[in-house]
Amino acid sequence: MSTIKYLLDEHVNPRFRKALVRREPEMVVWCIGDVVAPPIQTGDPDILLWCEARGFSLVTNNRASMPVHLRDHLAIGRHVPGIFILNPNMTMGETIDELILIWAASDSDEYADQLRYLPVSS
């Protein structure tokens, strides 16, 4: 079983969580806005701090500012388990398959301090 846990940002369709957990019931997938996760409209720098503190990899659509936020986060000596940027050209099924592959085949620190654009398997 993988130790990778995912936090889906508020702009990621919540159907992704349902599909991921349906296929892999042991997978930990939380969404921003869940009671146990950061509230909706939490700023990206605070989301990165939350992910660092709790060991969650962020799954986001934020191609514009997330690379800058990660650079700033790392520049002050912080860390993150990883950030995965969704590919708008991938179908939901392809994205689910890719996130499951990452979860099943990766160590928890394999994507540490990295921002990776899906698909990572190609």
How confident is the model at residue 93, as a pLDDT?
96
The arrangement of strands across the sheet holding 28-31 comes to 28-31, 5-8, 56-60, 83-85, 115-117
- The secondary structure element, H or E, covering residue 10 is none
How confident is the model at residue 108, as a pLDDT?
80
What the chain holds in terms of domains, given with CATH numbers, is 5-117 (3.40.50)
How confident is the model at residue 107, as a pLDDT?
86
Structure token pair of residue 41:
């409209």
Over the chain (122 residues), what is each successive 10-residue block's mean pLDDT? Answer: 88 96 97 96 97 97 94 97 97 96 91 95 70
Q: Specify the residue for token string 């179908």.
A: 91
- The secondary structure element, H or E, covering residue 110 is none
DSSP for 25-91 reads: TT-EEEETTSTTSPPTT--HHHHHHHHHHHTEEEEE--TTTHHHHHHHHHHTT---S-EEEPPTTS-
